[in-house]
Amino acid sequence: MEERFRVFKEVAETKNITLSAKRLHVSQPSISLQIQNLENEYGARFFDRTNKGVALTNEGQIFYPYVLSILDILSNAKEQICALAKDQRQRIYLGATLTIGEYILPSILAFLHKTQPEVEFKVKIANTESISKDVLEKKIHIGLIEGPVPWHKDFNVESFWEDELVVVIPYFHHWASRDSITLAELPQERLISREGGSGTRRVMEMALKERGFDPNQLNVTMELGSTQAIKQLVSAGLGITIISSLTVSRECDRGLLKILRIQDFPIYRPLSIITNAQTTQTKDERIFINLLHDHRLLSDVLSKDNNELEEYENKLCLTHPAVSSQEGQEHWQGH
């Protein structure tokens, strides 16, 4: 029956029996027989045949989306069965947008490499559109997105963190003795910003507009696609910026930069997990997702430098059941 569905799908999409036979590597009579058997099975005519090719009848148009759904379900079943048979369940395909990929994911992967060395990660860093597309096409199992997530019926979306956008200044700036500034003070300083269309820039401008502030009033002197480059220019005194607090925590700890908040105007954006609703997560993927939802553990992991992780993990194994044993991992998944 699956073969008949594949033949139906191919003919419906190519509208040509000869081309369908070529693509499926079967004879034209075989294609015609499969269609005839399918029509006999359902007691309906699915195609109108003409000298120019074939076209779906009304019945065929109704039948088409059901065939796609059935083939998709069968494909998912085969993937999971093959994963069990070949022990591929220990490979996780991840995608992340820039801020998450540069400043959150490395610490998480370093931590998991110590606690679950048998798990292999394949990672893609790209923009929201690219990551979302790959999740829909099942090229990526888990996508991590900053800011708004495009809606799609096949997306499962879970927020795992709230990222705050803050004003960042060099440690020697004349505002350095302060903890906050007013919205009206922002245009007084040269602003180094992420490029137009970036997630950070979009969230910042939307938040300003919600407060009745025109983003065009900002004195944007440079636009860059690299957060690291922006931080270097700010630390050199060439301007201030508005970026994720996650990206500057270590520079602030070292006294190179300082964070200021805008009075009565916090700017938050969600960090989200997106998965394909038509795909079931493996055990290892669920462990990864549960780590992201464990705010205490995630905060601890993100606060550590790589050279601190080993000592931290040894201590953590004594206190956190998720890391200390296989039984603990099962317990963690239930939270």
258-302 pLDDT per residue, tens: 999 988 778 888 889 999 888 878 888 888 888 888 888 887 777
Looking up tokens 């379900």 gives 73
Instruction: Say if residue 239's pLDDT is above 90.
Output: yes
pLDDT at site 305:
53
Confidence of residue 169 (pLDDT cuts 50, 70, 90): very high
pLDDT at site 318:
36
Instruction: Say if residue 313's pLDDT is above 50.
Output: no
3.20.20.80, 3.90.76.10, 3.40.190.10, 3.60.90.10: which CATH number matches 91-161+270-303? 3.40.190.10
Rounded CA-CA distance 299/163 in Å is: 12
Confidence of residue 315 (pLDDT cuts 50, 70, 90): very low
Instruction: Say if residue 334's pLDDT is above 70.
Output: no
Q: How many CB atoms lie within 10 A of CB 60?
A: 21
Classify residue 279 by its DSSP letter: S
Q: Provide mean pLDDT across the span 105-131.
A: 85
- pLDDT tens track for 64-94: 999 999 988 888 888 777 766 555 447 888 9
Rounded CA-CA distance 175/106 in Å is: 32
More confident residue, 186 or 329: 186
Q: How many CA atoms lie within 13 A of 70 on its CB side?
A: 13
Domain borders along the chain are: 1-84, 91-161+270-303, 162-268
pLDDT at site 85:
56
Asked if domains 1-84 and 162-268 share a fold, the reply is no
Rounded CA-CA distance 296/309 in Å is: 15
Q: Provide mean pLDDT across the span 4-15.
A: 91
Instruction: Say if residue 328's pLDDT is above 80.
Output: no
Under CATH, which architecture does the 1-84 domain have? Answer: Orthogonal Bundle (1.10)
Helix 283-293 vs helix 105-115: angle between axes, to the nearest 10 degrees?
130
Confidence of residue 203 (pLDDT cuts 50, 70, 90): confident
Q: Provide mean pLDDT across the span 113-137.
A: 85
CATH number of 162-268: 3.40.190.10
Q: Which residue pairs from 22-30 have beta carbons closer than 8 angstroms and sit at least 24 positions apart in sequence?
A: none
Mean pLDDT of the chain: 82
Which residues are paired to 191 by β-bridges?
Answer: 220, 240
Instruction: Say if residue 303's pLDDT is above 50.
Output: yes
Do 56 and 47 meet the contact criterion of CB atoms below 8 Å apart? yes
Rounded CA-CA distance 307/319 in Å is: 20
Burial of residue 194 (CB within 10 Å: 0-12, 13-18, 19+) is: buried
